[in-house]
Amino acid sequence: MSHPHPELGLPPALPEGALRIVALGGLGEIGRNMAVFEYEGRLLIVDCGVLFPEPDQPGIDLILPDFEYIRDRLDDVEAVVLTHAHEDHIGAVPYLLRERRDIPIVGSRLTLALIEAKLTEHRIQPTKREVVEGERHRFGPFECEFLAVNHSIPDALAVAIRTPAGIVLHTGDFRMDQLPSDGRLTDLGGFARLGAEGVDLLMSDSTNAEVPGFVTSEREIAPVIDEVIRTASKRVIVASFASHIHRVQQVIDSAEKHGRKVALVGRSMVRNMGVARDLGYLRVSPGLIVDSKEIEGWPPEDVVLICTGSQGEPMAALSRMANRDHPIRIAEGDTVLLASSLVPGNETAVNNVINGLSRWGARVVHKGNAKVHVSGHAAAGELLYVLNLTRPSNFMPVHGEWRHLRAHAKLAALTGVPDDHIVIAEDGVVVDLVDGRAKIVGAVPAGYVYVDGTSVGDVTDFALKDRRILGEEGFISIVIVVDTATGKLAGGPEIHARGSGIDPAMFDDILPQVERALQENAADGVVDIQQVRRVVRRTVGRWVSDTYRRRPMIIPVVVEV
């Protein structure tokens, strides 16, 4: 990806006593959060997450940060601090540890348990260091103080990073729910104490910077979920993030109240809730949860299923149910509850799932027609509150698309942060904190790294462009036999097409043109096979464009004799 100042070159050497911050993801996008801090030649990483693909990235499973900036300096990494266990903050950790397995992973109890379960699937045994709010730990030249923050997953943390260059407060993802379901409040007192000490740079969650006021309390959702389950005449299927333990707890409590058994569907849901239950973050009465393989035999009015797929992910359980590609079959009278927010960019996929479920007779309850979810991210009123508590000398909005970063920057300006002390950066932009001032000093590569099955980084943007063309326009192959000595046509051409929408009989019009172009090519003494391919591709491409206004992929196949 590009950065907002194309004229920026590589950054200069880091001045003595300065702190460097480079975001390799999470700026200008929702996901792929990863920030690298450098002081005196040592590195500290905060979060290492993934971005989920969009419809115009066919075949891609995950998108990782580009580790190229730190690849030659992995031995300088003191630790990876994880603020919480959402995939957009921990999902890329296995791929980073493939490059150096003993990097210490720092986080709260639940965060470490969930990342360890994920790493087990990658056959990696991590070096862990558990921390709790209120503690301070030193990692090389970085002294980290951890503060409790409320979010849509338990045990989330903010981190204050102290070096001689100053104090940086990274909020992680947070909100200021005053009645959280787990009773764990955001540590506003700690934020205020840091503000009194002097926050040199505040890096704060921007996701809801455009939303006025304060987010609704999590407790207000429970009665709505309870009403949906109470009034459902048949099965209830709840789709949620596999990490949203609070929401799953609310569904389990309501199911038990109304005499229903619960089944967990989806590998990540089963894994995460098993970890949460073992650690005491999820409370489940004995016998309440049953195996999803047995659920089809239960009366529908006695069943609640909790599954993944609330964002329309094509391989998740709910999408497969909507497409009748799952052992659990949606039936007339089922109620499906989408108990999560809509991640920007997923609107079309989610609407397709809702339509698919409705087709089979399900009643679909979602954020658009019922209050079944509250955001885990602070709204503008809460962000202003934190800005006023911490009174930062410099401000850098993080975790958000461009509109969110800009909106958050305006909030900072309203609280008195000078415009020239507000840094709006993009992935790869290098920010140095020198003598109490944060400034952009350069940029480094920070593009997308695509995961496609077991392949990491092999798929390029050019390959994705080819996939889009194949998916949208199809392809045409032209087989010819060429005499390599003379360049003359010795056989063919034969034309084959797939997905182009062109009647094969119409190719009779182009065959003479291809033959004529190859004859002219041979007459000019051209025998280079690459040139022959270019002539064929150009001739066929021009005909298809002029005749059909289409741009399929054109593949010349030259057999040499």
The single-letter DSSP state of residue 29 is B
Residue 283's Cβ-count burial label (10 Å; 0-12, 13-18, 19+) is exposed
Alpha helices by DSSP H, listed for 216-310, are 222-231, 245-257, 267-278
The helix (run of H) or strand (run of E) holding residue 456 is strand 455-456
Please indicate if the annotation marks 408 as binding a ligand.
Answer: no
Q: Are 340 and 310 in contact (CB under 8 A)?
A: yes
State yes or no: cis peptide before 493, omega within 30 of 0: yes
Strand partners, 80: 45, 105
Please indicate if the annotation marks 375 as binding a ligand.
Answer: yes
Residue 550's Cβ-count burial label (10 Å; 0-12, 13-18, 19+) is middle
Radius of gyration of the chain (CA): 28
Q: Rounded to an integer, what distance in angstroms lies between the CA atom of residue 466 and that of residue 477?
A: 14
Q: CA 549 from chain center: how many Å?
A: 36
Q: Are 353 and 359 in contact (CB under 8 A)?
A: no
Residue tagged 């997953």 (tokens) = 153
Q: Rounded to an integer, what distance in angstroms lies between the CA atom of residue 67 and that of residue 241?
A: 27
Tokens of 449: 């790294």
Please count the residues of the chain.
Answer: 561
Q: Rounded to an integer, what distance in angstroms lies between the CA atom of residue 250 and that of residue 560?
A: 68
* Extended beta strands in 322-454, E state: 335-338, 363-365, 395-398, 429-434, 437-443, 449-452
Q: Rounded to an integer, what distance in angstroms lies between the CA atom of residue 54 and that of residue 17?
A: 41
Tokens of 450: 């695509």
Angle between helices 380-390 and 188-197 (to 10 degrees): 40
Phi-psi region of 84 (alpha: psi -120 to 50; beta: other; left: phi over 0): beta
407 contacts: CB under 8 Å, gap ≥ 6: 206, 209, 210, 380
* Extended beta strands in 103-200, E state: 104-107, 127-130, 136-139, 142-148, 157-163, 166-170
Amino acid at 426: E
- Among residues 382, 367, 350, which one has the least CA distance to residue 247? 367
Q: Rounded to an integer, what distance in angstroms lies between the CA atom of residue 24 and that of residue 27?
A: 8
Q: Rounded to an integer, what distance in angstroms lies between the CA atom of residue 131 and that of residue 148?
A: 11
Distances (CA, A) of 161 to 26, 185, 201, 349, 463: 19, 21, 10, 39, 40
Numbered residues of the known binding site: 373-377
Numbered residues of the known binding site for substrate: 373-377
